[in-house]
Amino acid sequence: MAETSSSSRSSSNGSPMTNITQDHLFAILLLLPIDSILSFAMTCKRFRALASSDALWESISRRDWGPNSVDALKKSSNLLFQHQQQQLPWMRLYKHVSQLDSVSLHKLTYPDTHLALPRPRASHSLNFVSDYLVLFGGGCEGGRHLDDTWVAYIGKDFQKILNWQKVNSGIPSGRFGHTCVVICDFLVLFGGINDNGSRQNDTWVGQLTCHETLGISLSWRLLDVGSVAPPARGAHAACSIDNRLMLVHGGIGLNGLRMGDTWVLELTENFCSGEWREILTCPSPAARSGHSLTCIEGTKIVLFGGRGLGYEVLNDVWVLDISESYLNWVQILYELPNIPEGVSLPRVGHSATVILGGRVLIYGGEDSQRHKRDDFWVLDISANPSITVQPSTLNSARLLAKMWKRLKAIGHKPKCRSFHRACTDDSGRYLYVFGGMVDCLVQPAESTGLGFDGELFLVELLLQL
Amino acid sequence: MSSSKSNKIVKLESSDNKTFEVEEAVAVQSETLKNMVDDGCANDTIPLPNVNGKILEMVLGWCKKHVDETVTGDELNKYEADFLDLDQADLYGLLMAANFLNVKGLLDRVLQRVADMIKGKKPEEIRRIFNIKNDFTPEEEEEIRLENAWAFD
């Protein structure tokens, strides 16, 4: 290790940077945004080699995507099989995740058995927890509600054949338009509408248990929340926030009116009880239903779309950062005409899920022309600090251009749908979609031509590895 | 530590034979020195052959500031910012000393300082600041620039 001499001597001897150990250099690079890391890599051959280390890029991926995605990717044996090596090509993987432009769809075929399958439905809940897909409730023909819980084992690799198993019925009571989120390994279900039109505001906690002999079971219990709870509602939006919080916004309330309130549920450590409190902010997103809430970067909640008070379909994007001391909904303004095909962006009944790389994947839903869609969009708000004024500089316009990206979809072509549900596995690379409302070619008994779909399919992020 | 309030003095000697005497409370800001004190090895002068006097004085100044209860949060922030306004030779000397002496917070601050010198800069600027020789041919440079274009939007 070189001892420091006088400053004039070391600067004429070449770069003092060469005295820094690799560990310290990696620590410094990990403090930098990607473009600065690559700028540094472009200075000379030695630093290019160092900054291309896959060990470094694994740390960068861990930093930017979170440890869960990275650990899940490492365990995913199909990626390793492709490369027959111990180390994933992290630098290349990071680049391809950032540049994601296509998805590949796969029909998940059902095995040839006499086992029952979940009936076609919409406005149900679909979650991935403890290696299982969990489906609950929803609405079906005749406007009837469902009260069944189904699970399907997924495991670490995506499988093209899935076995659905019915594990519960009757509890919670039948409903559709409820929300269900995953917090740690628990499912937290809230609200919904039953087929009498009654809106609920009860909160349920579900836990999967795998018995050696008895197989898989799921127990639901009513959560004790004390005297304060949000007004009853359905078609609201909810998302879990990192630790023990759930955020709920809007929906259609008791008198059929759309609401624009924001509530947070905080659960105790053992998930036996919880406390609701309302978050009052000004400004706040207008009242709406059929919109989406997604949590990115651990603390930022992104709200998109929905149907407003005047029955119009919305396309506004709002962000709330739960880590700030004063909670605020901030709108991210953008111009539809500036986005290619952006005219179709107002959406209701779409699905919004966080995918590998930390951005939001928006799929399907109904547009402002009352057409159901089948397109995929990636919403990226990371480039924008909260822009609350009309973008006037060229730089802002460029940042906003990165905000929406339409993806190409190859492979299986499912029907356009709305009020379907979607969730990813731990890696964030695979998205499972089930159900929804689709247009029927053959007119059913109702004159609307609407059908409920019972298809389960997989959306794979194409990463060209 | 039961002896934290004692006025025990710790003696240190730099690589260029300069001696420094500091209170134990100041010295134990360094985890390395704290381990020595806890193990009872700090009774005689502790030699530090990899840290020169100039750098050691800086490190001890940092440690002193951090145990001084009269210093406010704002004053400390300003002190830390001014402290790292150094030429590069001193900066790297400080990095190695902070690493060896394991002074909490100081190593992180130095690493952040170096990162701030790189952040947002183009390769030519980084080369100039750190006196890095460009050993790429113009063709190689262009090839890398295209390869990395995806990150610069």
Helix (H) / strand (E) element for A359: namely none
* DSSP 3-state of B101: helix
Measure B82 CA to nearest chain A CA, in Å. 19
Own/partner pairs, B96-99, CB within 8 angstroms, 24+ separation: B96/A1, B96/A4, B96/A19, B96/B50, B96/B51, B97/B50, B97/B51, B97/B55, B97/B56, B97/B59, B98/B59, B99/A24
* Phi, psi for B120 (deg, rounded to 5): 75, 5
The stretch B60-65 carries a mean pLDDT of: 92
Cβ of A39 and B121 within 8 Å? yes
Mean pLDDT of the residues in chain A: 87
Q: Which amino acid is at A184?
A: C
The band of A338, judged by pLDDT with boundaries at 50, 70 and 90, is confident
Q: ∠ CA(B64), CA(B69), CA(B74), 5° rounding? A: 90
Say yes or no to pLDDT of A13 above 80: no
Contact of A219 with chain B, judged by CB distance below 8 Å, is answered with no
Say yes or no to pLDDT of A159 above 80: no
Contact of A243 with chain B, judged by CB distance below 8 Å, is answered with no
The stretch B27-47 carries a mean pLDDT of: 88
Say yes or no to pLDDT of A238 above 80: yes
Say yes or no to pLDDT of B40 above 90: no
User: Which of A20, A45, A48 has the CB atom closest to B92's CB atom?
Assistant: A20
Instruction: Name chain B contacts of A11, Cβ cutoff 8 Å.
Output: 88-89, 131
d(CA B48, CA B101): 9
Say yes or no to pLDDT of A292 above 90: yes
Q: Which amino acid is at A281?
A: T
The stretch A60-80 carries a mean pLDDT of: 81
Say yes or no to pLDDT of B124 above 70: yes
Contact of A3 with chain B, judged by CB distance below 8 Å, is answered with yes
Q: What is the pLDDT of residue A2?
A: 44
Say yes or no to pLDDT of A390 above 60: no
Instruction: Summarize pLDDT for B83-111 with one digit per residue, the tens.
Output: 888 888 889 999 999 999 999 789 999 99
Q: Are A206 and A132 spatial neighbours (Cβ–Cβ below 8 Å)?
A: no
d(CA B45, CA B67): 22
Say yes or no to pLDDT of A393 above 80: no
CA distances to A17, A261, B87, B108 from B114, in Å: 10, 46, 11, 10
Q: What is the pLDDT of residue A342?
A: 80
Say yes or no to pLDDT of A280 above 50: yes
CB atoms within 10 A of CB A132: 20
User: Which of A1, A20, A39 has the CB atom closest to B123's CB atom?
Assistant: A39
Q: Which residues touch A84 (CB under 8 Å, ≥6 apart)?
A: none
More confident residue, A262 or A270: A262
- Lowest pLDDT segment from A15-29, A35-49, A409-423: A15-29
Instruction: Name chain A contacts of B118, Cβ cutoff 8 Å.
Output: 28, 32, 36, 39-40
The band of B68, judged by pLDDT with boundaries at 50, 70 and 90, is confident
User: Which of A3, A15, A40 has the CB atom closest to B50's CB atom?
Assistant: A3
Strands A258-267 and A274-279: antiparallel
Q: Hey, which bits of A360-463 come out as E strands? A: 360-363, 376-379, 404-411, 421-424, 430-434, 437-439, 450-452, 456-461
Q: Which residues touch A360 (CB under 8 Å, ≥6 apart)?
A: A294, A296, A302, A304, A352, A353, A354, A378, A379, A380
Q: Which two tokens stand for residue A64?
A: 């930017």
Contact of A41 with chain B, judged by CB distance below 8 Å, is answered with yes
Percent share of chain A, pLDDT over 70: 86
More confident residue, A442 or B62: B62
Own/partner pairs, A383-386, CB within 8 angstroms, 24+ separation: A383/B153, A384/A332, A386/A319, A386/A330, A386/A332
More confident residue, A441 or A376: A376
Cβ of B96 and A4 within 8 Å? yes
Helices (H), A292-428: 394-401
The band of A222, judged by pLDDT with boundaries at 50, 70 and 90, is very high
Q: Are A40 and A25 spatial neighbours (Cβ–Cβ below 8 Å)?
A: no
Helix (H) / strand (E) element for A290: namely none
Which value does ipTM take for this structure? Answer: 0.90
CA distances to A29, A227, A230, A371, B141 from B147, in Å: 19, 59, 52, 41, 10
Cβ of A16 and B114 within 8 Å? no
Bin A126: left if φ > 0, else alpha if -120 < ψ < 50, else beta: beta
Contact of A464 with chain B, judged by CB distance below 8 Å, is answered with no
Q: What is the pLDDT of residue B128?
A: 93
Cβ of A17 and B115 within 8 Å? no
Q: Are A113 and A161 spatial neighbours (Cβ–Cβ below 8 Å)?
A: no
Q: What is the pLDDT of residue A110?
A: 67
Q: Which two tokens stand for residue B82?
A: 């001014």
Q: Which residues of A140-163 are buried (b: 16+ CB within 10 A; e: fewer)?
A: beeeebbbbbbbbebeeebeeebe
Q: Which residues of A449-459 are buried (b: 16+ CB within 10 A; e: fewer)?
A: ebbbbebbbbb
